[in-house]
Structure 1
Amino acid sequence: MRRNLHSLWVLSARDLRVRYATSWLGYLWSVLDPLVMSLIYWFVFTEIFHRSVGSDPYIVFLIAALLPWVWFNACISDFTHAFQRDAKLVRSTSIPRVIWVGRIILSKGIEFLLAVPVLVLFVVFSGAEVTWGVLWFPVAIILQTALLAGLGLILAPLCVLFDDLERTTRLVLRALFYATPIIYSANDLPAGFSWLPLVNPLDGIFSMYRAAFFPEQWNTASVIASVVWTVVLIVAGVLVFRRLERSVLKEL
């Protein structure tokens, strides 16, 4: 067990070193993407369209969801080539193959945590109120980690066996961004789409992140749905991974 945890850390640390070793900006790359996205959406929806969605301060509302979205999006994108990138190492080592999924979640999760201080700064300077809901923030991190693990165990082996799945995943991620309450909240959905938070596991997780500053964003039904979806995906992920592991090794 200790050896496997060490392998997980070594591989995750390697990913971070490769990402930042030749970068002049280093740590700033962890925050630039969500920060620039937040500023663009803040400008568009407050200065051009004079928004009627979300909560004030809107910049905090955006960043509280964009940071975990960047973590989710980066992990899903990397899952599509989790084994192909280090095919020789995957085949030749005795390291459990699930670690190749876990290393992505851990390295991207560390980048997420490194970006959280940006959210804190905007909370301070915008005067956003920190509520009891901040206690749900670490719970949301744990739940998102578990959700990513389930999805990774399904997606990583399938992408080895089906080449077109990588492109399909990119299209799904684009659609999912707008189907997830990031630039708006679940409370802003029209009556005909009130079912959407119950089929999107990210909805409840993001409402937990936002509850730290916007208690009205808490949605018990969507949180329960996110927990149920996470459990289902973890079970499905374990079953799929066990079923396909040998086929993946042969294909690599």
Structure 2
Amino acid sequence: MWSRRRALGLLVSRDLKVRYAGSWLGWVWTVLEPLLMAGAYWVVFTQIFSRSAGEEPYIVFLLAALLPWTWFNGGLSEAARALRTDGKLIRSTNVPRELWVLRVVLAKGVEFLFSLPVLALFAVVTGADVNWRIVLVLPATLLLATLLTGIGFLLAPLVVLVRDLERIVRIVLRLAFYASPVVYAVRDVPQAWEWLFTLNPLVGIFELFRAGFFPELLDPSRVALSVGVSVAMLVLGWAVFARLERTVLKEL
């Protein structure tokens, strides 16, 4: 796969160009979409209803998790149907089929990186405290990419074989948003339910993203769990992908 990195780069570039072709705002949508979502949540939880969850400044707390969630949500939705969407092209090329999943993860990752200046801007405007742990954004990004790639490898061949799975993925992602600490922190969850929320691998990843602004939320045990689950998911996903690859090619 490393020898085909140029092909991967071309696929990622194609994805990004096609996605914004004919759009008036183009790359601005990369920033505008999560910004509008964050604005809506900020109005609801700070201006309309009294809020007991999260930290101040809330918009920074929110964006620090909402931006990586947007990458995870969009990346997983597209990665799950990556093989089925480009079936004809996949059959006619000899590049490793894993690249079709990886190009989705990386393309969405590029969009995520372009959205980070929004977080930086609000951190400056609101006067948020920034500490040295802001560098943990780098391992958090790598960890989220690992988890997303593993789940993508697992789901992409299964969606080809079981078409209903694509709809199930969309439903699960909607539920996963509320089961993940995006608009709240884990410590805001009732103690009786905290252990259940901690099992979510996104918890430790989001805490890494927030650590540069809210170090008190960082729990090494939850981060360790996220690392273990992400690596295990990558191994499992790749194994399933390799096992089902020939069967999937017959179905495409």
In 2, distance between residues paired with 1:196 and 1:47?
Answer: 30
Other-structure match for 1:143: 143
Deviating more after overlay: 230-239 vs 105-114: 230-239
The CA deviation at 1:198 is: 3.0
In 1, distance between residues paired with 2:234 and 2:198?
Answer: 18
In 1, distance between residues paired with 2:155 and 2:131?
Answer: 37
In 1, distance between residues paired with 2:92 and 2:43?
Answer: 51
The CA deviation at 1:41 is: 0.8
Deviating more after overlay: 189-198 vs 38-47: 189-198
The CA deviation at 1:197 is: 3.6
In structure 2, give the amino acid aligned to 1:194. Answer: E
Alignment of 1:210-249 (within 5 A): 210-249=210-249
Report the 3-state secondary structure (helix = DSSP H, G, I; strand = E; otherwise coil) of the residue aligned with 2:84: coil
In 1, distance between residues paired with 2:210 and 2:240?
Answer: 33
The CA deviation at 1:106 is: 0.6
The CA deviation at 1:28 is: 1.1
The CA deviation at 1:226 is: 0.3
In 2, distance between residues paired with 1:209 and 1:196?
Answer: 21
Q: Does 1:11 align with 2:23?
A: no
In 2, distance between residues paired with 1:20 and 1:238?
Answer: 30
In 1, distance between residues paired with 2:240 and 2:28?
Answer: 37
In structure 1, give the amino acid aligned to 2:236. Answer: A
TM-score, normalised on structure 2? Answer: 0.98
Alignment of 1:84-123 (within 5 A): 84-123=84-123
The CA deviation at 1:222 is: 1.1
In 2, distance between residues paired with 1:39 and 1:50?
Answer: 16
Other-structure match for 2:65: 65
Alignment of 1:130-169 (within 5 A): 130-169=130-169
In structure 2, give the amino acid aligned to 1:10. Answer: L
Q: Does 1:185 align with 2:185?
A: yes
Say whether the 8 Å CA contact 1:197–1:204 is kept in structure 2.
Answer: no
> Considering only aligned residues, what root-mean-square deviation do their CA atoms show, in Å?
1.0
In 2, distance between residues paired with 1:13 and 1:89?
Answer: 16
The CA deviation at 1:2 is: 5.5
Say whether the 8 Å CA contact 2:60–2:122 is kept in structure 1.
Answer: yes
TM-score, normalised on structure 1? Answer: 0.98
Report the 3-state secondary structure (helix = DSSP H, G, I; strand = E; otherwise coil) of the residue aligned with 2:51: coil
Other-structure match for 1:55: 55
Other-structure match for 1:80: 80
In 2, distance between residues paired with 1:53 and 1:198?
Answer: 17
Aligned residue pairs total 252
Structure 2: gaps of 5 or more residues: none
In structure 1, give the amino acid aligned to 2:195. Answer: W
Report the 3-state secondary structure (helix = DSSP H, G, I; strand = E; otherwise coil) of the residue aligned with 2:82: coil
In 2, distance between residues paired with 1:24 and 1:217?
Answer: 40
Question: 1:118-167: per-residue Cα shift (whole Å, max 9, x none)?
Answer: 11100010100111211211010000011111001101010000000000
In 1, distance between residues paired with 2:2 and 2:48?
Answer: 54
Say whether the 8 Å CA contact 2:186–2:198 is kept in structure 1.
Answer: no
Question: 1:68-98: per-residue Cα shift (whole Å, max 9, x none)?
Answer: 0000000111022101221111111110000
The CA deviation at 1:241 is: 0.6
Query: What percentage of aligned pairs have identical amino acids?
Result: 52
Give the ranges of 4+ consecutive aligned residues of structure 1 lying more than 4 Å apart after TM superposition. Answer: none
Say whether the 8 Å CA contact 1:198–1:226 is kept in structure 2.
Answer: no
